[in-house]
Amino acid sequence: MPNSVASFIICAVIGFGIGFAGFEWLGKDDVAPTATQTETASETETPAAESPAAEETEQPAAEPVAASGEILNTKGCLSCHSVSSLDLQGGATGPDLSKAFNEVEGKHGKPLTEFLKEPTSAVMSSVIGGNPLSEEEIQQVVEALKDASEKE
């Protein structure tokens, strides 16, 4: 009996060690970008607020970027994707979404709005299936990615 307990403890320690190492190796890219995207969003909002002259001339351009970053961050898009044209750093798992507004239909056979409702890729089907977007959220994401494509 003591031999069984010792074997169990050794196997449990080894199992937890392998699990922890696997999480660190696979999960590190998914966890780290969250802090980066928050810092990036703060950095994009702060300069416009500090300079009254910049605020008057850049107000219309600054708001969509902040709003774009907000919806993409809120819905978790930035945990896998970046949007370099909006200076939004995110995960490296998925492709950069700067050109997605123009490229989704050619790649997936349907416009972006329809793709966000019913994705044709296996990965996005599981992601959006587990956390569907409302009509308003879809419109906000589409507007954000349209802004991104115009700045590309």
On whether both 44 and 25 belong to a single domain, the answer is no
Whether 112 and 101 have beta carbons less than 8 Å apart is answered as: yes
On whether both 50 and 14 belong to a single domain, the answer is no
On whether both 107 and 50 belong to a single domain, the answer is yes
On whether both 119 and 64 belong to a single domain, the answer is yes
On whether both 26 and 46 belong to a single domain, the answer is no
Q: What is the pLDDT along the chain (152 residues), one digit of tens a residue?
A: 678 888 888 888 888 778 777 666 665 444 444 444 444 444 444 444 444 444 444 444 444 445 557 888 888 898 899 999 998 898 888 899 999 999 999 999 999 999 999 999 888 988 888 889 999 999 999 999 999 899 87
On whether both 24 and 51 belong to a single domain, the answer is no
Q: What is the DSSP string of 89-132?
A: ---SSSPP-TTHHHHHHHHHSS-HHHHHHS-SSHHHHHHHHHSP
Helix ranges (DSSP H) in the chain: 2-31, 33-50, 52-74, 100-108, 112-117, 122-130, 135-151
On whether both 146 and 71 belong to a single domain, the answer is yes
On whether both 74 and 113 belong to a single domain, the answer is yes
Whether 150 and 81 have beta carbons less than 8 Å apart is answered as: no
On whether both 72 and 114 belong to a single domain, the answer is yes
Domain span at residue 92 reads 33-151
pLDDT of 59 reads 40
On whether both 135 and 85 belong to a single domain, the answer is yes
pLDDT of 68 reads 58
The domain tally of the chain equals 2
pLDDT of 42 reads 42
CATH of the domain at 84: 1.10.760
pLDDT of 117 reads 92
On whether both 6 and 39 belong to a single domain, the answer is no
Bridge partners for 83 per DSSP: 88
On whether both 89 and 45 belong to a single domain, the answer is yes
Record the tokens describing residue 7, joined without a space: 């074997």
Whether 65 and 147 have beta carbons less than 8 Å apart is answered as: yes
